Structure 1
Amino acid sequence: MTEYYKHESAIVDDGALIGSDSRVWHFTHVCGGAKIGSGVSLGQNVFVGNKVTIGDKCKIQNNVSVYDNVHLEAEVFCGPSMVFTNVYNPRSGIERKSEYRNTLVKRGATLGANCTIVCGVTVGEYSFIGAGAVVNADVKPYALMVGVPAKQIGWMSEYGEQLDLSLTGDATVNCPHTNATYQLIDSVLSKVES
């Protein structure tokens, strides 16, 4: 008996590792080499490749394909129909599996609905990618990114609240919801641990 829930229409190939309290919903396919943590939710019509790791408490909404060489740390949110890639310059008639680029999405990041994460980038912890954005370069921790191509327009707290800070300079601000303190030094934002 498994310790995770799997809908009867889902396919989980032999060898896949799925942690306890995870949920695999309708018409989802998990390949045999996948490593999925505890408390993960894989929505309807999700695909998870062989060379994929998904950390604890990630939420992957409907119609998302997590292709080989994509790695999600804990508590990543993948909005409905967002897109990952793993080949930078694909052609149908040319095999490029040896050219897969690694994509790393760090802890707590949010990837909005219909956004695209071009392969080979690192998306920083607790960053927030707006709906429909196209990310083609590394994203700083806590950065708020929107547009095509994505540009930083602000900063976000771990709670998901926009912080009242400029993009550059040195400053300190508190999250309007949790009152946690964040410090901007040399255009890098970090949470001040109390």
Structure 2
Amino acid sequence: MTSANFNLQPEILENEIIKLIPLQEDHFEALYEVASDPLIWEQHPIKDRYQKNVFKPFFETAVSSKGAFLVLDQKTNEVIGTTRFYDYNPEKSNIGIGYTFIGRKFWGGPYNRSTKKLLIDYAFQNVNSILFHVGAENFRSQKAVLKLGAIKINEMTFPINDGILHFEYELKKEFVN
């Protein structure tokens, strides 16, 4: 069932590990503190996003998208990173989840999976399929998307990312427990 009233930025999504709140302008400094680590971006198509002047347009686009979230640790309220919904297509009953990054302190634990699970569970109330676009050299994110049960369906380039090759993965509602 597809909903024309799909709210891409609900007030709060949370579980026992993560809290997602709508990304706001005043979150810039706290989020940039996490994003300023060059190692976060080493496999990313835009490797210099740790620089403030490169991060700022990414952040502003996220805020204006009205589908982005600040990711917080549920217990401490510490800023972990950000993620967002994008490219909602009611006709095809799909949406993208991406533009996600989390601080290295939170790698290897339950944080990324918990973040994606919140978004996936919420999205599947409104769409039948979720798309993920991952840079061809971003092996860490490719593995994470495959662990969610998504299947690679396409290879594509995005002009916005200087024509860098990306892999498109799809997670279908009917295949999720």
Same fold, TM-score > 0.5, yes or no: no
More helix by share: 2
User: What TM-score do you get using the length of structure 1 for normalisation?
Assistant: 0.25
Say which one has the larger Rg. Answer: 1
User: What TM-score do you get using the length of structure 2 for normalisation?
Assistant: 0.27
